[in-house]
């Protein structure tokens, strides 16, 4: 393959070549099918929840239709819309979907859930329901925002959750604005997730370079033992590893006891449940991945490189910085990609060893998925996480290109 | 000869499958660990002995998302689950659970507030209480106002890092009686008042996310007092610690509820269990072994004074208590947790 001249490229598609490509394709087909079925379809479905408005569109058909010509500046709509809503509530009650509808509306306007569930008892005869009856159980019907929300059921898609996941919302006129400061949390969480992942990656690079160097130059019995030590954290259960750190770092733990004994501090330092302890625990797990990536490149380089550089007049540091490090950069890049991507998805470790302000994006995805069943917001946050991955991937590709060109 | 052995083996196999089919069972899902052990020993084993229905006990973290996916994909494996009361409220409205048998729900006046629901009955009542280490602090706090008073008792305070359960404590510290906390929270400016109270204690708080880390903070002396789930405290004291629960400061109790999953494969067996569990003497099997209460008021008659004293719902502790309002939290949880996070970040 390597010695095929560029001008000869057409021949790849000669009958023989095409057959070979087809065979290769058939060989990876099972893997491709597996990835599509087990990863891409479920992930795609979950991400779709971020914009899915089917539930409201299905269940609030009549109301949305009655609001077709209505706009928020007209104020609360007339009796016909109230009656349409009563019909929708009764239909949803019969279909068993009223609870979900109430929950979904409550995600967008806090405090309407119980009203919609109580309204189920009023709507046996929807045409007899009055504006006053409905407004009594659902007071928010006396104001415009809820009606704007009900009108949004005209569409099968919504941008509410995607906007919410970056602290934005639509105002009455439909323009996109920042949410008030006392509700803005997600940008902070996204930045925190990026910062933690970047810092963990940088710390891993700094710690891995010397270790990889030692490993590459160690002699047989030692190289094996050192490698086993490096890999050890990977083989330990996540829980055991994290809990050990809690024990080591806590107020009466060995670290504080030693510092106190040496007289370096007067009262125990707060080491655990901080950003610092989170870094320690994450770096310990991810470090082997970085070391192995760098080592795989380092072992292929001739050992005499540094000596050659020094013999040509460079000091050790210059030799390392200007000769060895650029050659190691593919390993560093690969390692960084692996470590960064792993770090982005962390959530059990931050829960156990970080404080409430050290929780990462994935914790919130888990919380909204599992606990509050707000799959729209969970999907939107997952979209943000995927966007981060995509940006990281593009950055990585750009770096590699740059590296190859120089 | 050989064929006879094969025939015998085949017959044995058929017999085995037949008896496996004949054996009635159900899959119940609890919170794991010592909680599951206590339920197994105190309640499920007696049930199996009486009914012949075998109970497979599984564990989870209350993720009702699992139920939603099982029901949506029509692959239901759980028959009977314990969920937190707000999740029961949401799941019941969404149609994830069967209704309780009429005869059982008709007894609702014999149950403590918040421990029975059209879709479920209490599997355990737990409380978030104020705790300090009696070995380190001689003159401990008596009220939530003391908890807030860092001049009277200096030192850091441990608090659960979320809005739910914390806003309640903040209002108690601000002088609101437990029974009136939700009236205040629902009224104009009530939530602001709770956050204003939290502003005052914020610089002195070490926030916790799991009860294990709360307990470690307390035992390591990182905090002088903390809020914590009462059974965790009892379990530590049984191992020799001297933690003191300040019941009289006021506390809230919450309930986890047993519920039958909609479309459960062994629905009838789960219903039989509910009927069995509706009898107070059978409910008592759990609090005998664990420091969490159950729903029926008559359970007290079947417990010793010592077993009673450690329960949030005993006659001695109940006067200081109010129940967590699941309606309130089902509606406001997401918005208030968001506000709490934003407040933490300030």
B209-230 confidence digits (pLDDT tens): 888 878 888 988 889 999 999 9
* Interchain pair B213, A96: CB under 8 A: no
Residues A76 and A43 in one domain: no
Q: Do A355 and B90 touch (CB under 8 A)?
A: no
> Tokens 């906007």 correspond to what residue?
A163
Establish if A363 belongs to a structural domain: yes
pLDDT of residue B19: 46
Cross-chain residue pair A103–B90, CB shorter than 8 Å: yes
Considering CB atoms only, which of B64, B208, B220 is closest to A373?
A: B64
Residues B27 and B136 in one domain: no
Out of B87, B210, B344, closest to residue A352 by CB = B210
Task: Clarify whether residues A14 and A116 are in a common domain.
Answer: no
Structure tokens at A289: 């991945």
pTM over 0.90? The answer is: no
Q: What is the mean pLDDT of residues A17-37?
A: 87
pLDDT category of residue A4 using cuts at 50, 70 and 90: very low
CA–centroid distance for B206 within its chain: 24
Contact A113 B63 (CB under 8 A): no
pLDDT at B109 over 60: yes
Q: What are the C-alpha distances in Å from B212 to residues A243, A249, A281?
A: 10, 15, 17
CB contact under 8 A, B334 and A374: yes
Bigger pLDDT: B95 or B53? Answer: B53
Contact B148, B171 (CB under 8 A): no
Chain B: closest CA distance from residue A212 (Å): 35
Show residues of chain A in contact with B216, CB under 8 Å: 246, 250, 272
Read off the pLDDT of each residue in A133-159 and give the average, rounded to a whole number: 94
Nearest to A295 by CA among A366, A194, A364, A227: A227
Q: What is the DSSP string of B149-187?
A: -TTTS-S-EEEESSSTTHHHHHHHHTT--GGGHHHHHHS
Contact B342 A114 (CB under 8 A): no
Are A108 and A13 in a shared domain? no
Residues in A touching B208 (Cβ below 8 Å): 273
B161 touches chain A (CB under 8 A): yes
More confident residue, B3 or B51: B51
Report if residue A379 sits inside a domain. yes
Query: A278 lies in a domain?
Result: yes
How many domains, in total, are found in chain A?
3
- For residues B31 and B108, state if they share a domain: yes
Do A277 and A245 meet the contact criterion of CB atoms below 8 Å apart?
yes
In the prediction, which pLDDT does B62 show?
85
The reply to whether A202 and A292 lie within a common domain is yes
Q: How far is CA A387 from CA A197, A360, A382, A384, B238, in A?
A: 15, 15, 8, 5, 50
Within a domain: A169? no
- Provide the 3-class DSSP secondary structure of residue A10: helix
Collect all residues of chain B within an 8 Å Cβ-Cβ radius of residue A250: 216, 220, 222
Asked if A356 and B209 come within 8 Å (Cβ–Cβ), the reply is yes
Kindly state whether B69 is in contact with chain A, defined as any CB-CB distance less than 8 angstroms. no
**Are the beta carbons of B62 and A371 separated by less than 8 Å?**
yes
DSSP state of A108: H
pLDDT recorded at residue B173: 97
Q: Which domain holds residue A29?
A: 6-48
Q: Is position B214 within any domain?
A: yes
Report A:141-200 residues touching B (Cβ under 8 A): 181-185, 188-189
- The CATH number assigned to the domain holding A381 equals 1.10.3720.10
Q: Is A83 inside a domain boundary?
A: yes
| Facing residue for A107 by CB, picked from B62, B92, B334 | B334
pLDDT computed for residue A1 by the predictor: 39
Q: Pick the closest to residue A388 from A186, A200, A164, A191 (CA basis).
A: A191
Give the model's confidence band at B1: pLDDT under 50 very low, under 70 low, under 90 confident, else very high: very low
Q: What is the mean pLDDT of residues A213-236?
A: 86
Kindly state whether residues B90 and B49 are assigned to the same domain. yes
Are residues A342 and A366 located together in one domain of the fold? yes
The reply to whether A245 and A375 lie within a common domain is yes
A333 min Cα distance to partner chain B (Å): 33
User: Is B194 an interface residue toward A (CB < 8 Å)?
Assistant: no
Please, which pLDDT band fits residue A173 given cuts at 50, 70 and 90? confident
Residues B248 and B132 grouped into a single domain = yes
Q: Which of B67, B71, B81, B90 to mutate to test the interface with A (most CBs of A within 10 A)?
A: B90
Which of the pair, A52 or B89, is modelled with greater confidence? A52
* Residue A317 CB contacts under 8 Å (≥ 6 apart), including other chains: none
Report how far residue A11's alpha carbon sits from residue B226's, in angstroms, rounded to the nearest whole number. Answer: 75
- Answer yes or no: is B3 within a domain: no
Q: Does B332 touch chain A (CB under 8 A)?
A: yes
Which of B162, B220, B333 lies at the smallest CB-CB distance from A251? B220
CA distances from residue A344 to A100, A386, B87 in whole angstroms, order as listed:
31, 10, 29
B221 contacts in chain A (CB < 8 Å)? 251-252, 268
| Same structural domain, A247 and A124 | no
Summarize pLDDT for A175-200 with one digit per residue, the tens: 999 999 888 999 999 999 999 999 99
B340 inside domain = yes
- Does some domain include residue A313? yes
Answer yes or no: do B209 and B330 share one domain: yes
Are residues B148 and B220 located together in one domain of the fold?
Answer: yes
Q: Are residues B214 and B331 in the same domain?
A: yes
Q: Residue B247 — φ and ψ, nearest 5°?
A: -55, -40
C-beta atoms of A96 and B90 within 8 A? no
Domain that holds residue B119: 23-125+254-319
B220 with A103: Cβ contact below 8 A: no
Q: Distance (Å, rounded) from C-alpha B36 to C-alpha B272?
A: 20
What is the rounded average pLDDT for all residues in chain B?
90
Whether A11 has its CB under 8 Å from any CB of chain B: the answer is no
B12 inside domain: no
Instruction: Report the b/e string of A136-159 with b at 16+ CB within 10 A.
Output: ebbebbeebebbbbbbbbbeeebb
Mutation target for A interface from B189, B213, B223: give the one with most A CBs within 10 A.
B213
Contact A111 B208 (CB under 8 A): no
A42 to chain B, any CB pair closer than 8 A? The answer is no
Let me know whether B55 and B29 are in one domain. Answer: yes
Pair B87, B170 in one domain:
no
Do B178 and B252 contact (CB within 8 A), yes or no? yes
| Residue B159 domain flag | yes
Is residue B88 within 8 angstroms of chain A, CB to CB?
Answer: no
In a domain, A223, yes or no: yes
Considering the domain architecture, whether residues B338 and B212 belong to the same structural domain is answered as yes
Name the token pair of B302: 């079947």
Asked if residue A75 and residue A26 are part of one domain, the reply reads no
* Of the residues A113, A141, A158, the one at which a domain ends: A158
Measuring CA to CA, which residue among B6, B331, B262, B197 is closest to residue A114? B331
Same domain, A42 and A75: no
Q: Is there a single domain that holds both residue A153 and residue A266?
A: no
pLDDT, greater one: B256 or A99: B256
Which tokens hold the place of A379? 């999907």
Assigned domain for B146 exists: yes
* Contact in structure between B176 and B250 (CB atoms under 8 Å): no
How many Å apart are CA B237 and CA B231, to the nearest integer? 10
pLDDT tens track for A200-217: 999 999 999 999 989 988
- Summarised one tens digit per residue, pLDDT across range B77-87 is 999 999 999 88
Res. A7: pLDDT tops 50 = no
Q: Do B269 and B184 fall within a single domain?
A: no
In this complex, is the C-beta atom of B62 within 8 Å of any C-beta atom belonging to chain A?
yes
Report the b/e string of A215-231 with b at 16+ CB within 10 A: bbeeeeeeeeeebeebe
Q: How many CB pairs under 8 A join A and B?
A: 111
A118 inside 8 A of chain B by CB: no
What are the chain A neighbours of B161 within 8 Å (beta carbons)? 355-356
CATH number for position B152: 3.40.190.10
Chain A residues near residue B341 by CB distance under 8 angstroms: 185, 189, 356
Helices and strands counted in chain B (H then E): 16, 11
Average pLDDT of chain A to the nearest whole number: 88
pLDDT digits 0-9 by tens, A343-359: 999 888 888 888 878 88
Alpha-carbon span A277 to A249, nearest angstrom: 8
Write b or e for each residue in A276-310: b if 16 or more Cβ atoms lie within 10 A of its Cβ, otherwise e: bbbbbbbbbbbbbbbbbbbbebbeeeeeeebeebe
* Composition of chain B by helix, strand, coil, percent to 5: 50, 20, 30
Strand B54-59 vs strand B25-30: parallel, antiparallel, or unpaired?
Answer: parallel
In a shared domain, residues B30 and B111: yes
Measured in angstroms, the CA of A293 and the nearest CA of chain B are apart by 35
Q: Is residue A170 domain-resident?
A: no
Among A253, A273, A359, whose Cβ lies nearest the Cβ of B213?
A: A273
Chain B (97-156) residues lying within 8 Å, Cβ to Cβ, of chain A = none
pLDDT (0 to 100) of residue B89:
86
Instruction: Indicate whether A58 and A44 sit together in one domain.
Output: no
Place of tokens 């109580």: A118
| Residue B243 falls inside a structural domain | yes
Query: Is pLDDT above 70 for B263?
Result: yes
Residue A361: what pLDDT? 93
Nearest CB to B331: which of A106, A185, A351? A106
Q: Are residues A243 and A370 in the same domain?
A: yes
Cβ partners under 8 Å of residue A267, min gap 6: A260
What's the structural domain count of chain B? 2
Residue B276 lies in a domain: yes
pLDDT digits (tens, 9 = 90+) for A83-132: 999 999 999 988 888 988 999 999 999 999 989 988 988 888 889 889 99
**Measured between CB atoms, does A276 come within 8 Å of chain B?**
no
């Amino acid at each position: 393959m390597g010695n095929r001249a560029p001008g000869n490229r057409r021949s790849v598609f000669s009958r023989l070549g095409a057959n070979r490509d087809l065979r290769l394709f058939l060989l990876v087909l099972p893997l491709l099918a597996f990835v599509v079925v087990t990863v891409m379809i479920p992930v795609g479905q979950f991400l779709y929840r971020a914009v899915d408005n089917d539930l409201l569109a299905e269940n609030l058909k009549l109301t949305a239709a009655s609001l077709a010509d209505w706009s928020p500046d007209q104020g609360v709509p007339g009796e016909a819309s109230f009656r349409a809503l009563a019909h929708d509530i009764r239909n949803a009650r019969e279909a068993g979907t009223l609870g979900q509808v109430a929950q979904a509306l409550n995600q967008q306007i806090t405090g309407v859930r119980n009203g919609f569930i109580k309204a189920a008892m009023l709507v046996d005869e929807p045409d007899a329901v009055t504006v006053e009856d409905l407004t009594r159980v659902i007071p928010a019907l006396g104001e415009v925002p809820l009606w704007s929300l009900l009108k949004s059921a005209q569409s099968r898609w919504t941008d509410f959750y995607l906007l919410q996941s970056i602290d934005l919302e639509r105002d009455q006129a439909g323009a996109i604005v920042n949410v008030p400061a006392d509700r803005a949390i997600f940008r902070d969480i996204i930045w925190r997730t990026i910062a933690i992942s970047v810092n963990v990656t940088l710390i891993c690079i700094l710690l891995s370079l010397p270790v990889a160097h030692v490993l590459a130059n160690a002699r047989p019995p030692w190289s094996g033992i050192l490698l086993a030590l490096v890999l050890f954290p990977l083989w330990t259960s996540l829980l055991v590893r994290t809990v050990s750190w809690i024990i080591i770092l806590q107020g009466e733990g060995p670290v504080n006891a030693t510092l106190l004994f040496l007289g370096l501090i007067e009262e125990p330092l707060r080491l655990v449940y901080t950003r610092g302890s989170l870094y320690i625990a994450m770096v310990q797990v991810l470090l082997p991945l970085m070391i192995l990536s760098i080592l795989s490149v380092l072992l292929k380089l001739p050992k005499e490189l540094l000596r050659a550089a020094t013999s040509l007049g460079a000091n050790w540091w210059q030799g390392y910085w200007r000769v060895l490090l650029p050659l190691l950069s593919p390993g560093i890049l690969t390692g960084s990609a692996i470590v960064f991507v792993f770090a982005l998805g962390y959530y059990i470790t931050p829960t156990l060893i970080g404080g409430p302000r050290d929780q990462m994006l994935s914790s919130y995805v888990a919380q909204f998925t599992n606990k509050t069943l707000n799959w729209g917001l969970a999907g939107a946050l997952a979209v943000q996480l995927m966007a981060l991955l995509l940006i990281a991937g593009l950055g990585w590709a750009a770096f590699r290109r740059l590296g190859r060109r120089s | 000869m050989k064929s006879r052995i094969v025939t015998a083996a085949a017959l044995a196999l058929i017999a085995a499958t037949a008896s496996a089919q004949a054996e009635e069972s159900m899959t119940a899902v609890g919170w794991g660990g010592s909680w599951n052990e206590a339920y197994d020993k105190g309640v499920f084993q007696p049930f199996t002995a009486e009914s012949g229905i075998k109970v497979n006990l599984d564990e989870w973290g209350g993720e009702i998302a699992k139920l939603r996916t099982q029901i949506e994909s029509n692959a239901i494996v759980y028959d009977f689950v314990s969920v937190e009361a707000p999740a029961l409220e949401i799941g019941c409205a969404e149609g994830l659970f069967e209704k309780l048998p009429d005869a059982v729900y008709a007894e609702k006046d014999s149950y403590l507030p918040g421990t029975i629901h059209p879709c479920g009955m209490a599997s355990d009542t737990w409380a978030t209480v104020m705790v300090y280490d009696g070995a380190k602090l001689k003159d401990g706090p008596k009220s939530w106002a003391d908890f807030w008073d860092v001049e009277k008792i200096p030192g850091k305070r441990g608090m659960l890092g979320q809005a739910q359960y914390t806003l309640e404590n903040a209002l108690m510290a601000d002088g609101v009686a437990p029974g009136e906390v939700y009236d205040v929270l629902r009224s104009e400016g009530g939530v602001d008042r709770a956050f204003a109270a939290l502003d005052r204690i914020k610089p002195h708080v070490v926030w916790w996310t799991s009860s294990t880390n709360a307990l470690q903070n307390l035992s390591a002396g990182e905090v002088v007092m903390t809020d914590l789930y009462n059974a965790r405290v009892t379990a530590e004291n049984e191992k020799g610690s001297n933690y003191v629960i300040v019941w009289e400061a006021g506390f809230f109790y919450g309930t986890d509820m047993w519920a039958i999953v909609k479309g459960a494969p062994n629905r009838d067996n789960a219903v039989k269990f509910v009927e069995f569990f509706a009898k107070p003497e059978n409910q008592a099997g759990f609090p005998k072994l664990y420091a969490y209460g159950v729903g029926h008021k008559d359970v007290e008659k079947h417990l010793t004074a010592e077993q009673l004293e450690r329960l949030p719902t005993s006659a001695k502790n109940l006067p200081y208590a109010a129940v967590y309002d699941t309606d309130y939290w089902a509606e406001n949880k997401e918005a208030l947790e968001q506000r709490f996070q934003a407040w933490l970040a300030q």
